Structure 1
């Protein structure tokens, strides 16, 4: 049985705010190769304590980045990241690596992921939640950070397009 470790949402959000308007030179910038949004979000998730995952039985079930030539598709691709995050674990499994699930808008927390999706439900853009705006107990909005049209603490309500919401619970080691 795997040991469950909680995701450090605050560290992920802090990394996002530190690097939203610039690039971490330890990673390749994919801005000119289709966009850097998923690479950035993956960095944030990793900064939140989620370890690289080489355990899946094929590369589409893994998540890691060591160099441009040594990375998984889920590290830099929006739809592969969605599939990795939502299929790696469920309430009935304890596979090594991330445990995340699709949730409703009002269930997001700092460090969770918002995806923009096409009509056929394929993700094409990733953002990370960096703040939850409340009026008393009532949810007003979320602030997000992203690469590819770099944004720092931008209101999610101002982002157009169909959205999908991913909650990161933690990982199994």
Structure 2
């Protein structure tokens, strides 16, 4: 399992650090320790991804400290996440072939018999359709983790973990008519999106460049704009940026951003959806639960958007950024950060309703 962790215990790392501390500067010692712990974190996430991919509950269980309440919570949530991913793949008619995570450690510090860390994790999911297409498709999801890793006789385990789960709003798919939907998706073909307008293309270039932790090359937001995640969410702010900076939509008195703040229609998911529809800058393609709108989603083009409604309120906005090998629409967004992710992944249960919106470029 954790071959590196079993071989190099935390106490060994600390002893080596002390020895180096007598020979070199504290900065060198810090770099040494951080690199070792970073390596351990990467291996832990790699092994956990493998367990999720293979639905290996026994292996997944061994990565958690189940003697603590927080450890149990973290484990049970990953079990739900595992179940959701495989339910979604069954509905979609796909098989996940790889799950790979890139770890960016923001800070790390020692704690009693372990260490705390704050991470930005970019996880790539690779999948293929089971019928009609051999092409591999991939998407990325960026998450920000606060994690406590504890040392045991068997190696390091997760004693506590918090992150905003991109699947948290859709861990129950019992009401989705998987067989009917899967057959329809399998009957579709790849779409040619090369003929979209230049403004749409520029909008998606911006969406890809600034999609945050999920990004392929750049993994930061556009520093020209304030990050509103700490204040409740940045999804509408990012969608507005995509349309203004990339798509060249001009600001108005009601849809505006200036000096670190924006109007309700710029920053708020409900306000953004209402403004775009009522101003005439966009029009409604379809509205309803997943079973009602999934066929209409094939009409969406890069630069259009999806508004997600929960309990009568719009809680999220994502922008169409492409389509996969079966023409299934993909989205980019903030909070959580997504890059070319299937538009319903994390949202496709009966309690969620969708506004599919065509933007008039």
| TM-score bracket for the superposition, by shorter chain length | 0.7 to 0.9
- SS state at 1:25 partner: coil
Task: Choose the corresponding residue for 1:11, options 179, 202, 208.
Answer: 202
| Counterparts of residues 91-130 of structure 1 (less than 5 Å) | 99-104=281-286, 105-120=297-312, 122-130=313-321
- SS state at 2:229 partner: coil
**1:115 positional shift:** 1.1
Normalized per residue, which structure has more helix?
2
Higher gyration radius (CA): 2
Q: Which residue of 1 aligns with 2:190?
A: none
- State whether structure 2 residue 339 is matched by structure 1 residue 147: no
Q: Quickly say closer, same or farther: Cα 1:82–1:158, change in 2 above 3 A.
A: same
TM-score of the pair, normalised by structure 1: 0.77
Q: Which residue of 2 aligns with 1:76?
A: 267
Give the number of equivalent residue pairs.
143
**1:107 positional shift:** 2.0
Distance 2:209 2:285 in 1: 26
- SS state at 1:32 partner: helix
TM-score of the pair, normalised by structure 2: 0.38
Whether contact under 8 Å (1:79, 1:124) holds in the other structure is: yes
Q: CA offsets per residue over residues 14-37 of structure 1, 9 Å max, x none? A: 100000022111000001000111
**1:155 positional shift:** 1.5
Distance 2:324 2:298 in 1: 11
In the alignment, structure 2 segments of 5+ residues that lack a partner are 1-196, 213-219, 287-296
**1:134 positional shift:** 4.8
Q: Once superposed, what is the RMSD of the aligned Cα atoms?
A: 1.7
Whether contact under 8 Å (1:7, 1:49) holds in the other structure is: no
**1:162 positional shift:** 2.3
Higher relative contact order (CA 8 A, sep 6+): 1
Task: Choose the corresponding residue for 1:26, options 220, 224, 228.
Answer: 224
**Which 10-residue stretch deviates more, 108-117 or 149-158?**
149-158
Q: Which residue of 2 aligns with 1:64?
A: 256
In the alignment, structure 1 segments of 5+ residues that lack a partner are 1-5, 55-61, 90-98
